[in-house]
Amino acid sequence: MKAAELIDHCQDLGLSLRVDGQDLKVRGAIDLLTEDLRDDLKVHKPEILKRLRCITGSNEQLSDEKKCNEILEAAISDMPVTLEKVLASPLFVEFDLDQISKGNMIHEALRMYIGSWLGYPPPRSSSSGDERDRG
């Protein structure tokens, strides 16, 4: 497959490709990343990176990616999960990451969403009515 075909094929599989400096990052269900597909991505990596940079505008993307990573790191700072694991998960699609980098997702909502993925119970509010009078 050629670079453009690989990009389309990955999208069809539900895998997201993105540029991270000189690296090609793949997000989504990793079990879909077969050995043959992984080899094809390595062979065509320079052309794929070039195409993705043209599509996304690399300078803007790198800036947005840094902001997004900072926001996500703050949200998971006391959770037993790494930023890499969150980014590799199917939790967020590219649109979500764009919204996070623009500050359109609040910190507590991110914590609750990521926490629910990790199996954490939702945070309890002091005004939730869980406490009952025992008088």
CA distance 24 to 33: 13
The residue ranges of every structural domain in the chain are 3-56, 59-118
pLDDT at 128: 44
pLDDT at 132: 45
In CATH terms, 3-56 corresponds, of 1.10.150, 1.10.357, 1.10.10, 3.30.460, to 1.10.10
Nearest to 41 by CA among 30, 25, 61, 55: 25
Q: What are phi and psi of 22, to 5 degrees?
A: -100, 5
pLDDT at 42: 93
14 and 32 Cβ atoms separated by less than 8 Å: yes
CA distance 88 to 77: 17
- The conformation of residue 35, written as its DSSP 8-state character, comes to H
Q: pLDDT under 70 in the chain at which residues?
A: 54-64, 121-135
pLDDT at 44: 92
